[in-house]
Amino acid sequence: MSEVTDQLTQEQIGERLRVARESAGRTQADAAEAIGVARTTLVAMEKGARRVKIAELQQLARLFGTSANGLLRKEAVHVELTPKFRKLGENEEKAVTEAAELMAQLVRAEVELESLLGIEHVRNLPPERRILTGDVRQQAEQHALELRHWLGLGLAPVADIVSLLELQMGVRVYSRRLAAKISGLFAFDESVGACILLNANHPLDRRTQTAAHELGHLVSTRMDAEVNEIDELESSREEKYANAFARGFLTPAQAVRQKFAEVTAGSSSLTRRHVIVLAHIFHVSREAIVRRLEELQLTKRGTWDWFKANGDITDDQARQVLGDADKSDRLKDEAALPVSLKTSLMAYQAAQRGLLSEGQLARLLHLDRVQVRDLLSDIDAEESGANAATSILR
């Protein structure tokens, strides 16, 4: 243990204790009581002004739901996301707290495995754009259009926003089953980059909208953690901006006008078939495309409400128009797994190289040992079926 502590300064150990305490939702008074010292002493320890004894470190690790080795290991990553959400103040619901802690766990596992395996996470984030005085929706539309050009999209529809975020921008995107009212979470930390958690219980088109909404926060207010809830009122300029940005990014005005003219050519009214085709082209929900048409004054205000009051536009009708081919939804499939495919492969390599034990992986991934053993065995069976013909050239 002393060898490990020699690799870190007292200030670094104190900072790790603080982050672990806040991530576990414990106060300084809780931590001080657990080790039998005054709160002022605990404050001094977190600042690095007072050396932490081994016994104290072990007691604090147990209180924070981790291990002393996990706190002190040189390559261990201490992701400070959960405290960011606690600072939101109004979001004290259990569902929000659980979702924030889940996001921190997912990020922590991925980042620590990357660190152990020497994998560089490449970021390519756009410049941050401040929300200025004036028409916030107009600013959002302009910024969304500029980002599209920065990414080389032009006016083309966004077929897979998650791949765009992950591959072109280096955003860490996760999908897990969350409480129904939560659409998604966004957080940014200098050490790990931008992170988005989407609700796998929601349909693909809603998750697409949520991802675009969180992208708006990444562009405009990335240092502020954000929880996106269903049917949340636009209570601030930041929320108005994010919603308008999402519409502008997924359904750019010029492209919508062009496709609307093509699809409805010769028609005197907007039909269900028109709506289904336009929603399919832009990979958004049927409600989202009609609301956008209303906003762009391509159809009357209240058109969507009329459809809802007169039989709606159903999935069966969409299948009749588009056929039976289902959209692939890889993130929804991954959400049923104990860990993501990417994280499971990194965990397997860490185990193979002897970097992490079965027990350490269980703690890192928040699984029991049986689950870890099954995960590693499944991948090992696939690896053993490979041969020299499939070797990777490096």
Q: Which of 22, 45, 74 is the last residue of a domain?
A: 74
If asked whether residues 210 and 108 sit together in one domain, one would say yes
In this structure, the answer to whether residues 260 and 245 fall within a common structural domain is no
Q: What pLDDT was estimated at residue 100?
A: 86
Domain shared by 258 and 281, yes or no: yes
Mean pLDDT, residues 224-249: 86
140 and 214 together in one domain:
yes
Is 238 found in the same domain as 94? yes
Q: Check whether residue 83 and residue 13 sit in a common domain.
A: no
Do 143 and 258 lie in one domain? The reply is: no
Same domain, 22 and 153: no
For 311, the domain range is 253-330
For residues 204-213, give the mean pLDDT: 94
* Whether residue 257 is found in the same domain as residue 246: no
Last residue of a domain, one of 330, 347, 367: 330
173 and 210: one domain?
yes
**Of 265, 256, 262, 267, nearest in space to 298 by CA:** 256
Domain count, the chain: 4
pLDDT at 393: 56
Element (H, E) at 334: helix 330-335
The residues facing 321 across adjacent strands are none
> What global pTM score does this model have?
0.79
Q: Are residues 276 and 246 in the same domain?
A: no
E strand or H helix that includes residue 196:
strand 193-199
**What is the C-alpha separation between 135 and 131, in angstroms, rounded?**
10
pLDDT in tens, 8-59: 788 888 888 887 787 677 889 999 999 999 999 999 998 889 999 888 988 9
User: For residues 160 and 172, what is the distance between their CA atoms, to the nearest angstrom?
Assistant: 15
Residue 52 DSSP SS3 = coil
Give the whole-number percent of the chain exceeding pLDDT 70.
87
What angle (nearest 5°) sits at the alpha carbon of residue 176, between those of residues 172 and 178? 125
Residue 195: strand, helix, or coil = strand
Domain boundary among 204, 225, 250: 250
